Amino acid sequence: MKTTLDLPDHLVRQAKQRALQQGRTLKEFVAEFIRQGLHGGTTVSVPSVSDGVMVDSAGLPVFRCEPASGRPRIDLATALQLEQQGLALEDLRRAGLSS
């Protein structure tokens, strides 16, 4: 069944990020979240590993880099800047504007 919900932007972004981290679609993530809420259960994130990224038990990404991998280490400020750039590009793409 399809429905339309008017949710705060920050909640939708968080849900999309959590679904992406878990390798699930937003639809699957939200359905499971609602199902657990209706049954009185608690939401538990299942850790997953993909390309050096692991999701911890709180649903937050943990980036694992082997010292010999050649991948550069980045600080928190750089990571946040990259996230903001990615979100801005996604917004432009969804608005049909060139990036």
Residue 66, Cβ density class (10 Å: 0-12 exposed, 13-18 middle, ≥19 buried): exposed
Question: For the whole prediction, is pTM greater than 0.85?
Answer: no
The CA-atom distances, in angstroms, between 81 and each of 8, 9, 77, 84, 88 are: 22, 19, 6, 5, 11
CA gap 41, 56 in Å, rounded? 19
State the Cα–Cα distance between residues 10 and 6, nearest whole angstrom: 12
Give the angle 41-4-16 at the CA atoms, nearest 5°.
Answer: 60
pLDDT in tens, 5-64: 898 898 898 888 888 888 888 998 898 888 888 887 554 544 444 556 677 777 677 777
